[in-house]
Amino acid sequence: MTERTRVEVELTVNGRSHRVRVEPRRTLADALRDDCGLTGTHLGCEHGVCGACTILADGEPVRSCLMFAVQCEGMDLRTVEDLADGDRLHPIQQAFWENHGLQCGFCTPGFLMLSAGYLAQNPDPDEEELRAVLSSNLCRCTGYQNILKAVRQAAEVMRG
Amino acid sequence: MAPGYYTPAFMKPAPFDYHQARSVAEAVAHLGEYGYEAKILAGGQSLVPAMNFRLARPAVLVDINPLDELDYLEEDGDTLRIGAMVRHVTFERPVTEGPTGRLLAMAAHHVGHLPIRVRGTFGGSLAHADPAAEWCVIALLLDAELATRSPSGGRDIPAADFFQTVFTTALEPEELLVEARLPNLAPHTRIGFQQFSRRAGDFALTMAAVALEADDGPVANARIALGGVSDRPVRAGEAEQALEGQPATDESFRAAAEIAAQEFDAIGDIHGSADYRRDLVRALTRRALEQAIST
Amino acid sequence: MIPWIGQPLPRFEDPPLLTGEGRFVADLTRDASFLRFVRSPVAHGRIVSIEAPGRITAFTADDLRQVRPIRPLLHRPDFHPIEQPVLASGKVRFVGEPVAVVVARTPEEAEDAAEQVFVEIEPQDPVVSAPDALRPGAPTVHDHLEDNVVVDARFETEGVDEVFAGAAVVVEFDLRSQRQNALPLEARGSVASYDPRSGRTTLTASVQSPHVIRTILADLLGIPESDLRVVVPDVGGAFGQKFCLAPEDVVTAWVARRLRTTVSWVEDRRENLMSSFHSRDHHYRVRGAFDRDARLLAVDADLLCNIGAYSCYPVTCGVEPLMALAEFPGPYDFRTYRVRSRGITTNTCPMAPYRGVSRPVITLAMERLMDLAAVRFGIEPAEIRRGNLVSEFPYSSATGLVYDEGSYVESLDRAVEEIGLEDFRDRQAAARSEGRYLGVGISVFSERTGYGTSAFAARSMDVTPGYETVDLAMDPSGNVEVRLGASPHGQGLETTLAQLIGDELGVEPARVRVVHSDTDRTPYGWGTFASRSLVIAGGAARLASDRLRAKLAAIASAELEAAPEDIVIRAGRATVAGTDAGIDVSELARLAYHSSHRLAGGMDPGLTATATYDPAGTFSNACHVAAVEVDPETGGVRVDRFVVVEDAGRLINPMIVDGQLHGGVTQGIAGALYEEIRYDSEGNILTTSLMDFLPPTLAEVPTIEVHHLETISDATITGAKGLGEGGTIGAPAAIINAVADALRPLGVEVAEVPATPSRLRRLVSESERIPA
């Protein structure tokens, strides 16, 4: 194979700069996982439906499989690895743990980042809004029951 | 010789060259240079899945995300001007007083899911021209004008001429959609928006958007636009005419919905046959009209 | 929190998964080259040639001639073996079948390379559906067979025709279950690494049964098992799809050995939908005979299961037809039964077990039978069930299955009470007068779980699963390590086993480490599938704990100068019953290793125990009730309520139990209303994205109301019954019965799942009674 053109991109992930050389076609999700080594962001469909790859870009929850790494210079990217404060779990992580909001754990980072992005802007959602937002992502194990419960609890905790 | 085949499934894009446009002029210049080989990358929420499947394989991608100059909303007299890069999420709360803003907000909640709405753009959705896309249906309903720029200048295209068939618009390869101009609905206009999808956030199987005036008398200025029923968003012209001057009653709504259901050669796919889609048009049109009159 | 059993303990599995520290196969590709499979775009045809540009590293069946084909076996005359080369050889038999494999440095470049492999295929007429494949003169999928019937099993008790002839009411109907994909959110995949120093190959794979996979890999590659290690990292869901051997895993291991390097295969979602295993593609014709008191006397069933192009290892393509045959009677007491159950091969993706296997469909069939009969008799669906459910135990079914004690009638009564049936009927009547269609549906079922070797042997399997072995060791610090052959992947077994063992050995569950999913570190076992791990691995853990506890008691009795039977081990201490005299368990542990001269004569140093458990099986039972509203104009169904009354015996961790039920029910709702793999008549698959194959989101799933009964039977030594599949088994019948109940005024019958909006709308529009 001939060497494909790669370009240098500086990604700011979880407050840290990563200089990576990628082909323009490398998705943000693949760049985070394979070039930055942050494999907490998962790929479940790579066409924008399942939401396992959800991260925060400038504070907004986005599907990282639907963006290219070359687009993301200068963005503040946040992944699941950034959520806990050292050994202290983020209230959303804590609530997922206490409420059995995960089974296989594959969809979990996407749901955590979706919830984190949403609750940061909407700290007191009603049930209907919360259900609508959490229907953004797919989970195959939990039937969503305990995910909903966990995010509801986390919202309360975060409101203090 | 037996027929030859290649493997049927992909999930990573084919190679492409990437250009980040710093101005509309630069974006248009790239389009002028690469023509059919180039694709505009706006929100990417439909284009990137198609590229991941290698169903779309542009040789050149022109990224217009940096173009803040296309991220604006302006009221210009009776017209709402929407820059091509305004994200879907912007419309969740009414962007303008009156029925136009409310209609956009009603539709916005059906556009994908939150993470799709924070990236996807108004202009990108129009240019992608999915026959079941909310913004395409609304643009048609409101007789929007779509403004373009190209190396040779630019033009305004009426929505009725813009959508040609599935994923196909009147845009020339070197032409960039820069703005949608939505004539504001009169303040007393009543609106309805109904859609049916298999799951929350999915593209609708069928949708109906309506606007009409009927304060104390017969229906006037009735508009009905449908999505997902044909190869492009369509206006149910015969149903609109049938409603004109009629009393706003269950009977006239039912009759108009029936006409709308028969007006088109509906399309079928794995989620529903053409007959089924006609049934949906009938139900959703009637419900949208009822919704309009009851709110 | 003693006893630990019964506590909703948060899982030990969770912290890494919550913080992005989980390690799934695709996270382990750092040193690997990437494989990409070239797949057949043709359903049926003869391969004429395969050409790849010279600069591409590609392998085809010609390169893999030394690799044996997959040839799963049952030893029974009504089974016809078929075999699958790991890369198509000579013929292609379904769209998506691996034809060649390429190797590249990045996933993108692997796709570029695969794209350049040109396959010349002489197409042949395909057979796609089971009825098509049965037509006289239909093309045969496997040339060595006369037709496409690969399993043709029959069972008949005496006097079937006589009972039908004398019946007061005979109910007869057809049922069609469309095809589903188990759809774990993480698709399949593996990393194979060849170590030139040892000559060993390690396959790190997303599978449910590492030991069995190692055995078959060794068999197919023709190498000793000791040259292979199979490791299972975190697994992002499996639901049966990762239990059977993936031909791609064999190829991945082969390429690593051939190139003496590390290679990875990460299946993407389209490949998963197209080429990973499918399930539940059934056509049934069912007759039931009732006496005039609405007692079910006999069932006569003809069952067709489309098993796809190949047979899955180790359970074979008999798994669906044979389970359907044996378990069709479900929780109902009738003695006269005739069934013919066939497995039909077609040019479609192979079938393998998916959560529930055939039971979601046979439960739907029996529950439809009950509802249709109830309508004929003019009685409530609950009433006809009450009169027919098994109520004396142990109960031996018409096919000879023995049901241990359960609570079939009690679960029904409780569920009907929870849903508020009488009030619902009032609301339903009121709604109907407004042109709204509400319905309620009941599903009562048994779930055979935790069955061991004897049960599998009854299927005459060449590879007969069943037992589990557990190695237990208390280290000198008093911590416990448990090694098992089961391979949990989301079920929380690390936590529940720690709770079980914690109570037995008097240690905190946090001090019990569960080691699994690595053939180098665990005893041979069958893996995690068939709602078995807590029952069987848990039973083995209990037995091993008993042995270790006995040794601890013996050491303590010598130290404390008391009789061993007077030693109580609890909360980290061994004490003499009724006294203050005691010694810490950790001190006993230290002593067992470091002061073995003080052990009584004949006692080995150290604290280890091994036990194997191999039970006959136990039946969980449950009743599901769904309340729905059907929109007659769109055909849309909204599930308003879903009630589960579950009896899975003793609950070790009720939070985990409820989680299994929530997820199971949701997959059942998916099967009833949403998910469907579709092929066209040429065998092209039409559903290769999650925009076409539709797993439900939270918006489609109601609150699932779970209630428990706890019948403790003596069928398992822990009192626990399995329940991993129950939610999925029962939910489709509850939903479909509710939809049918809603539409009953229109005089239509729901005979196909999923009951999609377009199907329901067609029923409504074809109804002669136009909706209000």
CA distance B206 to B137: 11
Token reading at C29: 């590709």
CA distance C25 to C477: 33
What does the pLDDT look like over C39-72, one tens digit per residue?
Answer: 999 999 999 999 999 999 999 999 999 999 999 9
Q: Which residues pair with B192 in a beta bridge?
A: B210
CA distance C123 to C103: 27
CA distance A120 to A117: 5
Q: Is C385 an 8 Å CB contact of chain A?
A: no
Q: Which band of pLDDT confidence, cut at 50, 70 and 90, is reported for residue A107?
A: very high
| CATH-assigned architecture of domain B17-63 | 2-Layer Sandwich (3.30)
Nearest CB partner across the interface for A66, out of B63, B109, B119: B119
Closest residue in A to B62 (Cα–Cα): A71
Mean pLDDT of B73-81: 95
Partners of residue A31 in chain C, C-beta under 8 Å = none
Q: Is B133 an 8 Å CB contact of chain C?
A: no
Closest residue in A to C724 (Cα–Cα): A141
Choose the mutation target among A103, A127, A128 for the interface with C, i.e. most C CBs under 10 Å. A103
The full 3-state SS of C684-703, as one line of letters, equals: CECCCCCCCCCCCCHHHCCC
User: Are B16 and A7 within 8 A, CB to CB?
Assistant: no
CATH code given to domain A7-82:
3.10.20.30
**Chain B nearest C-alpha distance from C269 (Å):** 8
**Chain A nearest C-alpha distance from B14 (Å):** 7
ipTM of model: 0.98
- C263 within 8 A of C29, measured Cβ to Cβ: no
Q: Is A125 helix (H, G, I), strand (E, B) or coil?
A: coil
What does the pLDDT look like over A43-91, one tens digit per residue?
Answer: 999 999 999 999 999 999 999 999 999 999 999 999 999 999 999 999 9
Nearest CB partner across the interface for C11, out of A80, A89, A100: A100
- B84 within 8 A of B90, measured Cβ to Cβ: no
Closest Cα partner for B121 from B89, B93, B98, B150? B89
Q: Is B17 an 8 Å CB contact of chain A?
A: yes
Which pLDDT does position B148 carry in this prediction?
98
Pick from A54-58, C307-311, C766-770: least confident: C766-770
Closest Cα partner for C192 from C23, C64, C312, C25? C25
Q: Is C746 helix (H, G, I), strand (E, B) or coil?
A: helix
Which pLDDT does position C174 carry in this prediction?
98
Which pLDDT does position C530 carry in this prediction?
85
- C674 within 8 A of C695, measured Cβ to Cβ: yes
CA distances from C643 to A38, C408, C414, C625 (A): 41, 15, 10, 5
Nearest CB partner across the interface for A103, out of C22, C107, C659: C659
Partners of residue C666 in chain A, C-beta under 8 Å = 142-144
Those residues of chain A whose CB sits closer than 8 Å to some CB in chain B are 4-5, 7, 23-25, 27, 30, 46-48, 51, 54, 60-63, 65-68, 70-71, 114, 118, 132-133, 135-137
**Chain C nearest C-alpha distance from A37 (Å):** 9
Which pLDDT does position C771 carry in this prediction?
55
User: Are B11 and C761 within 8 A, CB to CB?
Assistant: no
Which pLDDT does position A68 carry in this prediction?
98
Which pLDDT does position C772 carry in this prediction?
46
Which pLDDT does position B2 carry in this prediction?
76
Choose the mutation target among A45, A55, A65, A107 for the interface with C, i.e. most C CBs under 10 Å. A45
CA distance C76 to C316: 12
User: Are A48 and B41 within 8 A, CB to CB?
Assistant: no
Which pLDDT does position C770 carry in this prediction?
65
Same-fold call for A7-82 versus A91-159: no
Q: Dihedral through CA B90, CA B94, CA B98, CA B99, nearest 10? A: 80
What does the pLDDT look like over C641-681, one tens digit per residue?
Answer: 999 999 999 999 999 999 999 999 999 999 999 999 999 99
Pick from C406-420, C452-466, C497-511: least confident: C452-466
Where are the domains positioned within chain A?
7-82, 91-159
Q: What is the DSSP letter of A37?
A: -
Q: Which band of pLDDT confidence, cut at 50, 70 and 90, is reported for residue A1?
A: very low
Which pLDDT does position C1 carry in this prediction?
65
B190-294 under CATH 3.30.390.50, yes or no: yes
Q: Is B231 an 8 Å CB contact of chain A?
A: no
CA distance C382 to C440: 11
User: Are C120 and B198 within 8 A, CB to CB?
Assistant: no
Choose the mutation target among A63, A112, A122, A137 for the interface with B, i.e. most B CBs under 10 Å. A63
Q: Which band of pLDDT confidence, cut at 50, 70 and 90, is reported for residue B8?
A: confident
Closest residue in C to A36 (Cα–Cα): C30
User: Are A136 and C268 within 8 A, CB to CB?
Assistant: no
Percent of chain C with pLDDT over 70: 99
Q: Is B15 an 8 Å CB contact of chain C?
A: yes
CA distance C321 to C326: 9
Partners of residue A4 in chain C, C-beta under 8 Å = 109
Partners of residue B203 in chain C, C-beta under 8 Å = 691
Closest residue in B to C680 (Cα–Cα): B270
CA distances from B252 to B15, B175, B208, B288 (A): 55, 43, 17, 13
Dihedral pair phi/psi, residue C430, rounded to 5° = -65, -45
**Chain A nearest C-alpha distance from B138 (Å):** 22
Note if the bond before C394 is cis, omega within 30 degrees: yes
Cα atoms found within 13 Å of the Cα of residue C72, Cβ hemisphere only = 26
Which pLDDT does position B216 carry in this prediction?
81
Mean pLDDT of C568-590: 94
Where are the domains positioned within chain B?
17-63, 68-183, 190-294
DSSP B241-273: HHHTTS-SSHHHHHHHHHHHHHSS----BTTB-
Partners of residue B52 in chain A, C-beta under 8 Å = 27, 46-47, 65
Partners of residue C633 in chain B, C-beta under 8 Å = 279, 282-283
**Chain C nearest C-alpha distance from B154 (Å):** 36
Which pLDDT does position C738 carry in this prediction?
98
User: Are A27 and B119 within 8 A, CB to CB?
Assistant: no
Name the one residue in this structure whose structure tokens are 């992930």.
Answer: A13
User: Are A70 and B15 within 8 A, CB to CB?
Assistant: no
For chain C, list the domains and their CATH numbers.
14-117+188-266 (3.30.365.10), 278-453+616-766 (3.30.365.10), 467-613 (3.30.365.10)
Q: Is B15 an 8 Å CB contact of chain A?
A: yes
User: Are A106 and C268 within 8 A, CB to CB?
Assistant: no
What does the pLDDT look like over C250-304, one tens digit per residue?
Answer: 999 999 999 999 999 999 999 999 999 999 999 999 999 999 999 999 999 999 9
Partners of residue C17 in chain A, C-beta under 8 Å = 102, 105, 108
User: Are B198 and C687 within 8 A, CB to CB?
Assistant: no
CA distance B163 to B169: 5
Question: What mean pLDDT value characterizes chain C?
Answer: 96
Nearest CB partner across the interface for C185, out of A97, A107, A112: A107
A 10 A CB-CB count for C335 gives: 15
Sign of CA dihedral C163, C165, C171, C172: positive
Q: Is C370 an 8 Å CB contact of chain A?
A: no
Token reading at B234: 């369509």
> Looking at the predicted structure, is the pLDDT value of residue C454 above 60?
yes
User: Are C687 and B4 within 8 A, CB to CB?
Assistant: no
User: Are B199 and C700 within 8 A, CB to CB?
Assistant: yes
User: Are A146 and C659 within 8 A, CB to CB?
Assistant: yes
CA distance C772 to C769: 9
- What's the one-letter identity of residue B56? A
Q: Which band of pLDDT confidence, cut at 50, 70 and 90, is reported for residue B4?
A: confident
Q: Which of residues 85-124 of B touch A (CB under 8 A)?
A: 109, 113-116, 118-119
- Chains near C with 3+ CB pairs less than 8 A apart are A, B
Burial class (CB in 10 A: 0-12, 13-18, 19+), C346: buried
User: Are C112 and A44 within 8 A, CB to CB?
Assistant: no
Alpha helices, H only, A24-144 = 28-30, 91-98, 108-121, 127-134
A91-159 under CATH 2.60.130.10, yes or no: no
Choose the mutation target among C9, C14, C23, C666 for the interface with A, i.e. most A CBs under 10 Å. C14
Pick from C180-184, C523-527, C702-706: least confident: C523-527
CA distance C262 to C25: 13
Which pLDDT does position C741 carry in this prediction?
98
Topology given in CATH for the domain delimited by B68-183? 3.30.465
CA distances from C272 to A90, C47, C149 (A): 34, 23, 26
User: Are A1 and C113 within 8 A, CB to CB?
Assistant: yes
- C510 within 8 A of C495, measured Cβ to Cβ: no
Edge-to-edge strands, sheet with C228-231: C57-60, C98-104, C33-39, C262-266, C189-195, C200-205, C228-231
Closest residue in A to B48 (Cα–Cα): A66
